[in-house]
Amino acid sequence: MEIKSPVSATLSPEQLAAIQDAVSHYRAVKGGVMPALHTVQGICGNWLPLEALKLLAEGMDIPYPYLYGVMSFYTMFSPTPRGKYIIRLCESPPCHIMGAVNLAEMLQTELGIKVGETTADGLFTLEHTACLGVCEVSPAMQINEVVFGRLTPERVKNILSDYRAGKAVDYRTLPRTTNPLSDYLASGDELVLLANVDQIDPLSLDAYLERGGYDGLKKALSLTPEEVVNTVKDSGLRGRGGAGFPTGLKWSFTRPSPITPKYIVCNADEGEPGTIKDRYIMEGDPHRVLEGMAIAGYAVGASVGYIYCRGEYYLSMYRLNKAIEAATALNLLGDNIQGTDFSFKIQVQTGGGSYVCGEETALIESIQGERGNPRVKPPFPGQVGVWYKPTIVNNVESLSNVPAILVNGPDWYKSKGTEDTKGTKILQVVGQVKRPGVVEANLGMPLRELIDKYGGGVRDGRTFKACQPGGASVGFILDEHLDTPIEHAALAKIQGGLGSGTMLVMDDTVCVIDVVKCLLYFFQHESCGFCLPCRRGTRVLYEMICKVAAGTGTQADLDRMLTLAQTMVDSANCALGWSPYSFLKTTMERFKDEYDAHLAGNCPLGVCKAEEHSH
């Protein structure tokens, strides 16, 4: 992590007044540090001068060195000047295999600057970023709040020309960030999660109510909290964020606790490369998320909810906040909901650009205005969570299933899917396929059907090479594995995983060592640095794969890499440190010839460069 010294600047009277107003507002908000940093950075023109940081620290009664430590953890904050428009070019694996490296070179030439620099006219700053969560349109970049995908050199030039001419896009006017669902093939299965997406105005509460919105909450309020917990438990719903822990069981651990207040946290920090599902729900059906949270709050006795949304999801946050306002005005959120003694309020918290904050305790630390370092567990959040009180942390998709389960009953839900993994899932197929995108379907679909039918198969003239199912921390699988049903147990048997439900497809133009190098760069960049095994281990693994890619590695290096990755599984504090082992092990086993060629100094596809530490 690069440590930058804060730069001084003369603040205008208008900026000083706006900062004072922000400080006065956020010092009264529990969890106000992160939104205050975002607000003040916006006031100062995309960066945080020393004077602004000191005003913020003093006004919120936080020691300045401590506030600087928090600010410096998150990549979206900068203590040095930046341009009017920040170009963030995605370099995660899905964009990497679709040509992001060439686009980076083109952008630097077009702008006349290197990554991390600002143009002389102060208009553009160019930055690399981890996954933007728009992998269906990779390669992609974001300019301030607006995402542009399916980039080509010509398209990039046209976009820059528009911004130079003052034709910036207002993200709030966009119908959605990427594609309508009509661009994708539908499964024909009954929709649970995407039923309203593109069918209603997401900003209209009336439209949501006309389609049965908040009926699940009303049903829950007619039951006891214990009955609600048991309904969700009986449905077989498992967490959709990656781990797959039974949702109702998690609730049952927190419900009996006499400690108050309790909290519900919706994990909307969708940072896993290849994962795009939650954005479709939040942008297209935000009230479904709020309703699921309110039901969870009633079930466990919580009175406050936080939606921790990744900082790049501007349209999602805008629509969630509008939905909160509308639901509160109609007493579907707030005090004494619908005349009952149940009160529940929701606050949107903005992330700052940190993959590790998808880990539930790192996310909790971030809500509290801390650096996003995962806590040592146990205790688990169900007992000691936000503000050290009992807290339920569930993914957007998990919570969005809950209203329909309450309305239709647990038997209806568990009639879908498989014995191991019940219900429907928003599956994502990205990478080198003809039709990258999403489909909601009953779990149990074979991987081959997802890739060939819904993804359109690999690109014309190419052949399938590998797939990484579930996310960046999962093993690579081969064509022989594609008849495996999409569920937790079956995918685990082939050293894959369901994870977030994404499938990164690679064709025969991809060098596996190059993709592994990209993955290891991602994990060493995103390590929080809290524990030594991950902080040092991810860096050493990246350095060693660079040697292999450059043709200077040895078999002993590969053996040491696997031993180190296993040691990290055994000793790292959180799952980020455990992540490299699976894809290292499976690629070394399943693509041994490709590794051997690199050890002999030859990249069969001519992809890998001679520079040992290039990315």
Give Cβ neighbours of residue 375 (< 8 Å, ≥ 6 apart): 361, 362, 364, 365
Helices (H), 143-197: 153-164
**How does pLDDT run across 524-542, given as a tens digit for each residue?**
999 999 999 999 999 999 9
CA atoms within 13 A on the CB side of 102: 11
Least confident of 4-13, 287-296, 475-484: 4-13
Sketch the domain layout of the chain as residue ranges. Answer: 13-73, 85-169, 205-414, 424-507, 512-599
* Region 499-519 average pLDDT: 96
* Bridge partners (DSSP) listed for residue 505: 431, 467
Helices (H), 116-179: 153-164
What is the CATH architecture of 205-414?
Answer: 3-Layer(aba) Sandwich (3.40)
Specify the pLDDT at position 242.
82
* Region 134-145 average pLDDT: 97
Q: Hey, which CATH number is domain 424-507, 3.10.20.30, 3.10.450.50, 3.10.20.600, 1.10.150.120?
A: 3.10.20.600
Tokens of 187: 């499964």
**How does pLDDT run across 215-274, given as a tens digit for each residue?**
999 999 999 999 999 999 999 999 998 888 999 999 999 999 999 999 999 999 999 999
85-169 sits in which CATH class? Answer: alpha beta
Cβ proximity of 414 and 235 under 8 Å: yes
**CATH number of this structure's domain 512-599:** 1.20.1440.230
Strands 85-90 vs 124-129: parallel, antiparallel or unpaired: parallel
Buried b (16+ CB within 10 A) or exposed e, 487-520: bbebbbebbbbbbbbbbbbbbeebbbbbbbbbbb
Tokens of 240: 């959709």
Cβ proximity of 305 and 347 under 8 Å: yes
Q: How far apart are CA 521 and CA 44, in angstroms?
A: 32
Q: How far apart are CA 289 and CA 213, in angstroms?
A: 11
* The pLDDT of residue 347 is above 90: yes
Tokens of 265: 């946290």
**pLDDT class of 4 with cuts at 50, 70, 90:** confident
Q: How far apart are CA 38 and CA 158, in angstroms?
A: 29
Q: What is the mean pLDDT of the chain?
A: 95
Cβ proximity of 358 and 523 under 8 Å: no
**How does pLDDT run across 393-409, given as a tens digit for each residue?**
999 999 999 999 999 99
**How does pLDDT run across 464-491, given as a tens digit for each residue?**
999 999 999 999 999 999 999 999 999 9
Q: How far apart are CA 406 and CA 187, in angstroms?
A: 24
Nearest CA-CA partner of 267 in 395, 391, 136: 395
Q: How far apart are CA 454 and CA 420, in angstroms?
A: 23
Give me the percent of the chain exceeding a pLDDT of 90.
96
**pLDDT class of 2 with cuts at 50, 70, 90:** low
Indicate the burial class of 478 (C-beta count within 10 angstroms; 0-12, 13-18, 19 or more). Answer: middle
* The pLDDT of residue 282 is above 60: yes
Look at the block and give the residue holding tokens 């709040």. 145
Q: How far apart are CA 185 and CA 178, in angstroms?
A: 16
